[in-house]
Structure 1
Amino acid sequence: MSVAAEHIYQSSDLAGSNRKAFIADALRSKARLRSTDGESLVMLREARLEHVAAIRHYAVAYLTLDTALRRPREDRRASDFGPWAFLEVFDDADIEEFRQEINDAIVRAASGDNHDAVEALLHQWQMSAETLSDPVARDILDGETTDEDWVELDG
């Protein structure tokens, strides 16, 4: 992505016939505009900007997770996981599985224009964390209940 190869519009171009070319460039990928004070501005589709912002958010969350996992388990708090605090209910093997899955999803999303797969993956893990936060559900999933733990109700 060479900046030198891109056309850089001037403010005066927006008042003339070049405004259509400026908008066309922005719709195609991006358009650069040099402001009157020399600042470089970029115009692009809002969806593209939101996608880039989402990827940045995921990358920062991933790095926060990575930092938290460098500390021993007993020294970690839920807040150490940042926006992914829900991971605190999982054991280290599950967290490592999450880390691999989210890394792959972020890389795929960053190479495209859609981050829905990252959102879907996060939702799935959040639902699992919610289930594991319920002590009864956790005991059932861990196989720590027996038939004697249950009572049949007459209806």
Structure 2
Amino acid sequence: MTDLIFQSSDLANKRTEVLEAAREGLARVRDKDGTSLVMLPERRLRLLQEIARWSRAHMRLDDLLRRDAIPNVSDLGDLAWLRVFDADDLREFVEDLHNALVAAHSDEDTLALDECIKAWRITARQIEDPLRRSVLIGKSTSDDYIEVHEPQ
């Protein structure tokens, strides 16, 4: 990335150069009033928006958990789908989310972040059902299992 700054008149006179700079990652354009404007690929903007959104959520949840209280639905806000988890699970989510954010930033792709959120949402939906919850996190003994034979 260079420190090249285009003038607003360059949008008409040197539009291919401005667009090429934007395609390569970033084009700065100085408006007539001195405002600095930036043009970048939409994919990059979406990546930055998603990282910012989930970073805010990460910081908010991390802060709530540091208070040693289980956050209520109101505290969680748009993360209310996490209400089914206990404090240990929420801490694990915060750690997983942190790792996914680092990977998304490093990879310049939200795939790791999307997969992390999707997996936790699926788990939350499963745990919300009382029967599934008892199967997934309930206690089991050897009497709960039987030997299965191969079908004939």
With the length of structure 1 as denominator, give the TM-score of the two structures.
0.83
**Counterpart residue number, 2:7:** 10
Gaps (5+ residues) in structure 1? 149-155
Rounded to whole Å, the distance in 1 between the matches of 2:52 and 2:81 is 20
**Closer, same or farther: CA 71–46 of 1 in aligned 2, 3 Å:** same
8 Å Cα contact 2:65-2:91 kept in structure 1 = no
Gaps (5+ residues) in structure 2? 145-152
**Counterpart residue number, 2:148:** none
Rounded to whole Å, the distance in 2 between the matches of 1:53 and 1:141 is 35
**Counterpart residue number, 1:153:** none
Q: What RMSD over aligned residues (CA atoms) do the two structures have, in Å?
A: 2.1
Give the percent of matched residue pairs that are identical in Structure 1 and Structure 2: 38
Q: Cα deviations across residues 20-77 of structure 1 (Å, max 9, x unaligned)?
A: 1111000001000011111100011111111101100010010110121123335x20
Rounded to whole Å, the distance in 2 between the matches of 1:79 and 1:111 is 32
Rounded to whole Å, the distance in 2 between the matches of 1:15 and 1:139 is 65
Partner of residue 78 from structure 1, selected from 60, 73, 76:
73
Q: Cα deviations across residues 75-116 of structure 1 (Å, max 9, x unaligned)?
A: x20231233222221122222211111101101111232012
User: Does structure 1 residue 33 correspond to structure 2 residue 32?
Assistant: no
8 Å Cα contact 2:6-2:29 kept in structure 1 = yes
Rounded to whole Å, the distance in 2 between the matches of 1:82 and 1:53 is 19
**Closer, same or farther: CA 85–27 of 1 in aligned 2, 3 Å:** same
Number of residues paired by the alignment? 143
8 Å Cα contact 1:139-1:145 kept in structure 2 = no
2:28 alignment partner, SS class: strand
With the length of structure 2 as denominator, give the TM-score of the two structures.
0.84
Please give the residue correspondences for 1:136-151 in structure 2 after superposition, counting only pairs within 5 Å: 136-143=131-138
